[in-house]
Amino acid sequence: MQNSLVSILIPVKNTEDFLEECLDSILQQEYKNWEVLAIDDTSTDSSLAILKSFSEKDTRIKVYSNSGTGIIDALRLAYAKSNGKFITRMDSDDIMPTNKLAVLVNNLKENGKGHVATGKVNYFSKEGISNGYARYEKWLNGLTENGTNFKEIYKECVIPSPCWMVYKEDFEDCGAFFSNRYPEDYDLTFRFYEKGLKVIPCSEMLHHWRDYTTRTSRTSEHYAANYFIDLKMHYFLELDFNPNRPLALWGAGNKGKEIAKILDKKGVAFTWHCDNSKKIGKTIYKNIMQHFNTINDLKNPQCIITVANQEEQLEIINFFKESNKKQGKDYFLFC
């Protein structure tokens, strides 16, 4: 077990400016028993040449060309070529601290199968990090430190896509990369949650996450807001929604409206609530907007919350705490 092989799956597309730094950080790992499965996804720059150059110098780095199209096909091919006891991912524009693999492997060894190992992340950028990314980093790292990531899974992706590791058997049980849903990292996180994997608490910073304007998550249509909402609703209705309890929707902004459309389309009955006096009493998408206090008139409801303002969220959480309601069971933060 001490020398178990780690398979590092890396999809690569036009990251020539960062790829060498990424691969160098893997070569400098304290944990040495790893293999890289790098899949070039039709790069038009020198990425493939860089990969081949590194592969010629170190046979642990194995290079293939994507037989399909896009990141999911690239990840499927990488996984099909892997031989490791442990499976992890890496983005070709990011950097690993030298202890990353060692910490993740040791945490899995200590806790055994049925767990996912992750670590804290830090965003970095030549242009500087936006307040939004800084808040996301702080929120995500707070969850990771306590291992409570799944508590807020409907808010944002709670497992960073390039900073996790699992046993291969657990990965198989979760469906590997066979799903076609985007965003693919968030979908995998939901499947970890669905299969009951437990997040191992970690207080160490294990990944340097690069941000730049042409990053795939910023430019691809597959990471647009509607994909996130569709994914959240798919898994909420499948995993946490109780059709024997009334469903309330709190929030009349854009996300609330999108969720209302999905619920109407699927024929799921719900009541709609907000604190906006200009909207209360109006009919929107065939639903009458009600004051949030009327949630208390419902018998044992579940509530989807789409209010993004953090101060208002705290007030909403206190509203439910006063009724001894629990997050992840009785109410769910969707933003």
Q: How far apart are CA 136 and CA 139, in angstroms?
A: 5
**Cβ burial 197-217 (10 Å sphere, 16+ → b, else e):** bebbebeebbbbbbbeeebbe
Pairing of strands 302-305, 198-200: unpaired
Supply the pLDDT for residue 133: 87
Q: Which domains does the chain have, with CATH numbers?
A: 6-223 (3.90.550.10), 242-333 (3.40.50.720)
Give yes or no for residue 215 having a pLDDT over 70.
Answer: no
Cis amide leading into 183 (omega within 30): yes
CB neighbourhood size of 306 (10 A) = 22
DSSP symbol at 110? H
C-alpha to C-alpha distances, 31 to 56, 59, 84, 102, 297, nearest whole angstrom: 21, 16, 14, 5, 57
- Determine whether 111 is exposed, middle or buried from the number of CB atoms within 10 Å of its CB (0-12, 13-18, 19+): middle
Q: How far apart are CA 20 and CA 38, in angstroms?
A: 13
Per-residue pLDDT band for 226 (boundaries 50, 70, 90) equals: confident
- Considering only residues 126 and 19, tell me which one the structure prediction assigns the higher pLDDT: 19
- Determine whether 26 is exposed, middle or buried from the number of CB atoms within 10 Å of its CB (0-12, 13-18, 19+): buried
Q: How far apart are CA 209 and CA 140, in angstroms?
A: 13
Q: How far is CA 182 from the centre of its chain?
A: 11
> 116-130, 209-223, 303-317: which range is least confident on average?
209-223
* Percent of the chain clearing pLDDT 90 (strictly above): 91
pLDDT, tens only, 55-105:
999 999 999 999 999 999 999 999 999 999 999 999 999 999 999 999 999
Q: Which residues contact 55 (CB under 8 A, 6 or more apart)?
A: 38, 61, 62, 63
Q: Which of 130-134, 246-250, 283-287 has the highest mean pLDDT?
A: 246-250
Per-residue pLDDT band for 1 (boundaries 50, 70, 90) equals: very low
Give yes or no for residue 295 having a pLDDT over 50.
Answer: yes
Q: How far apart are CA 232 and CA 199, in angstroms?
A: 20
Q: Which segments of the chain does DSSP mark as H helices, in order?
A: 19-27, 47-57, 71-80, 100-111, 131-146, 168-173, 184-194, 216-219, 225-235, 254-265, 310-321
DSSP symbol at 230? H
Per-residue pLDDT band for 253 (boundaries 50, 70, 90) equals: very high
CB neighbourhood size of 29 (10 A) = 18
Give yes or no for residue 221 having a pLDDT over 70.
Answer: no
